[in-house]
Amino acid sequence: MAEVLTPELESLTGLRYRPSVRELEKDPEKLDLFVDAWRKILAKPKEDESSFHHIAGIHGFPAPISCQHNIHFFPWHRAYLLRLERALNKVDPTVALPWWDFTTDLSLKEGLPRSFQSVANGGVDVLASTKIVFDGDRETMRELSSPSDLPPKSLVENAMRQRNYRSFRDSYYTRVHNAMHQWLGGDALGPQWTAFDPAFWIFHCAHDRDWWLWQLDPNGADPPFPNRILRGLDMTVGDVLDINKLGYEYATTEIAVEA
């Protein structure tokens, strides 16, 4: 499944449109632009705060582990995704982070989107793995489970039915987010190196979209402590509650585009 809305959304609203990965893969020109921007932030020295290596290191190593998996899991990762997207936009203001719906029939059949699979399976080199310059310049490692073991849509739907932020966060984080890290395996099993795997970004972008859809529900509630600083990111919880104020948007309805 992917969005009904199209990139015309950008010209109508001035907001950056985050597409699904499947949608992006159906447009080779836009996929090439995204990959080119990714290559360029990878090529920046690790000391550059807009480099992929520096930003990935914020989550775990070499910086002190900054990721927040407590009640502010969703706000922290929204700010984190934005940090990488803004780095990409310094290279090319037209690109946006894509999100991966890992609950679709196609995902349950094929697993990772094709462009993020191993090069041997037709993936793009810089989306299949990343050299971790802080750990002996080694490539990121995955130990993928069967595609059929991806979190089913029912787990996402159960979280979306929750009527307060804490129960939403607890249901989604423990049963969906954690399952995704377990499914990827390898470096995804700990906070140190997981953000160096390009697949981290597309499924966390899906988490962010799900939170936004939950926020749009009349019963969706804001997380507590809006003035709390999100560690390592120089933003507060309150700063990230409205994605439109952050300059981007997702479509809120879906149509089948995978066939």
Q: Give the per-residue pLDDT at 221.
A: 87
Residues in the chain: 259
Q: Give the per-residue pLDDT at 10.
A: 57
Q: Which residues contact 227 (CB under 8 A, 6 or more apart)?
A: 236, 237, 238
**What separation in angstroms does the CA of 75 have from each of 79, 106, 160?**
6, 29, 17
pLDDT, one tens digit per residue, over 137-151 is 999 999 999 999 999
Q: Give the per-residue pLDDT at 174.
A: 97
Give CATH for domain 2-255: 1.10.1280.10
Q: Where are the domains of the chain?
A: 2-255
d(CA 250, CA 221): 19
> What is the block-wise mean pLDDT of the chain (259 residues), using blocks of 10 residues?
44 80 95 98 96 96 90 98 97 96 96 97 97 94 97 96 95 98 97 97 98 88 94 96 96 50
Give the DSSP letter of residue 99. Answer: B
Q: Give the per-residue pLDDT at 63.
A: 80
pTM of the model: 0.93
Query: 190 φ, ψ to 5°?
Result: -140, 165
